[in-house]
Amino acid sequence: MTEEEIISLFQNSPALDDCAFLKHDGAITTDALVEGVHFDLDYFSARALAHKLLQVNLSDLVSSGATAHWCTLNLGLRLDLAETFVRDFAREFCSALKEEQIDLIGGDSFRAPALFLSLTMGGPVQRALPRWAGKAGDALYLTGQTGLSELGLSLWKGGRLSDLLPGKNLNEADQALLSEQARERHLYPRARREWGTLLCTEERVHAAMDVSDGLLSDVNRLARASGLSIQLEVDSIPDPWQLGHWVLTSGEELELIFLGEPGLSFPFPAAQIGRAFPGTAGLLLLKGGGPYELKERPFEHFSR
C-alpha cells in the first residue's frame, strides 16, 4: 500500500495539510504503543490495538478533567505487515473515533522496524484536576478495581492461573471467569469517561490521574506532584478476586485515583484507600496500619 492509500483509510477528505488549525484551547496528551514493548502481535489483534491506543490517551484527558475532541495519529508500519491488518486497524480506529465523537485532524505514516502507533489527543477542559492540586488532609480514592490487566498479560503470554495465583483454590467456573476478565482488561481497557465527568462536578475533589503504570507507581507520582506524603492502606484496596500484589503493580488499568475531602460518596464504585499528610513528598505503604514493603517491583520502562 502507498502512503496516500494508508492515509485515505483514516481520512475521507482530500483536503489534507501539514498542520491543523485549532479552533479551541484546552488540554493535550500523547501516548504510544510500540511492538515488543507494549504489545505482541501473537495475542494483540488490529482491533484490540486500535481500541487500546485510543482509550489510553482518552484516559489521560479524562483524569485531568478534560474532554477529547480531536486527535492526530502517527503510524510506523513494518513493510511485511499484512495489508488486511492495516485495513482492520483503520476500520476499528475510525469506528471508535465515531463512537467517542473525536475528530482525526492529522498525523503521519512512515516505515519502521517495528509496529509503532502514536496518538496525540486534545480537547476543552471541564474542570482542571492537575496532579499538583492535592491538599494535606485529603483522602485518596480509587475507582473500580486493579490487578486484572497485568494478570491478563501473564495469561496471554502462556502463564497458568494456578501458578500466577499460588494457593488460591478456584472452581472451574470462577477460573474461567477470572481468566476472561483479566484477558479482556489487558486488551480492551476503557477510560472512565463518565466517571471523570462526574468527578469534575464535585468541587471537593482536587487532583486526579489514571492508573497506567500501576497503583504503587502512580500514587507515588501523585504524592510527589502535590508535595504530600500519602499513606496508602493496602487492606483498603478493593480486591474481590484476592489478587494480592497484582492490585498494586498492575499497569494499564485506566482506573482513576484522586485526592479529595474525606468521606465523599459517588454514583460509581470508588473506595477511600489512603490519606494525604504534610511532610516528605512520596508514598508510604501500610498494611493493617503498619509499614509494609512490597517485594514485587512495578514495571519500569528503563529498569536494567
The CATH class that applies to domain 3-123 reads: alpha beta
302: confidence class by pLDDT, cuts 50, 70, 90 = very low
Q: Is the pLDDT of residue 3 over 70?
A: no
Q: Going by C-beta distance under 8 Å and a sequence separation of 6 or more, which residues neighbour residue 205? A: 129, 199, 258, 259, 260, 261, 264
Q: Which of the residue ranges 41-45, 276-280, 299-303 would you say has the lowest mean pLDDT?
A: 299-303
pTM value is 0.91
129: confidence class by pLDDT, cuts 50, 70, 90 = very high
Q: Going by C-beta distance under 8 Å and a sequence separation of 6 or more, which residues neighbour residue 173? A: none
Q: Where are the domains of the chain?
A: 3-123, 131-291
Show the cell assigned to 79.
513493510
* Dihedral-angle region of residue 14 (phi above 0 means left; psi in -120 to 50 means alpha; beta otherwise): alpha
State the Cα–Cα distance between residues 199 and 65, nearest whole angstrom: 8
* Dihedral-angle region of residue 263 (phi above 0 means left; psi in -120 to 50 means alpha; beta otherwise): left
pLDDT tens-place string over residues 51-107: 999 999 999 999 999 999 999 999 999 999 999 999 999 999 999 999 999 999 999
pLDDT tens-place string over residues 212-251: 999 999 999 999 999 999 999 999 999 999 999 999 999 9
14: confidence class by pLDDT, cuts 50, 70, 90 = very low
Distances (CA, A) of 15 to 8, 12, 71, 90, 162: 11, 9, 17, 19, 55
Q: What pLDDT is stored for residue 1 in this prediction?
A: 72
State the Cα–Cα distance between residues 101 and 55, nearest whole angstrom: 13
Q: Does domain 131-291 have CATH number 3.90.650.10?
A: yes
Q: Is the pLDDT of residue 198 over 90?
A: yes
State the Cα–Cα distance between residues 31 and 96, nearest whole angstrom: 17
Residue 160 CB-density burial (10 A; 0-12 exposed, 13-18 middle, 19+ buried): exposed
What secondary structure letter does DSSP report for 93?
A: H
Instruction: Provide φ and ψ at 251, rounded to 5°.
Output: -100, 180
Q: Is the pLDDT of residue 25 over 70?
A: no
Q: What pLDDT is stored for residue 15 in this prediction?
A: 47
State the Cα–Cα distance between residues 269 and 142, nearest whole angstrom: 8
Q: What pLDDT is stored for residue 12 in this prediction?
A: 59
Report the chain's mean pLDDT, rounded to a whole number: 91
Q: Going by C-beta distance under 8 Å and a sequence separation of 6 or more, which residues neighbour residue 106? A: 16, 17, 19, 20, 72, 73
State the Cα–Cα distance between residues 104 and 187, nearest whole angstrom: 23
Nearest Cα neighbor of 238 from 228, 226, 246, 227 is 246
Rounded to a whole number of angstroms, the distance between the first and last alpha carbons of the chain is 39
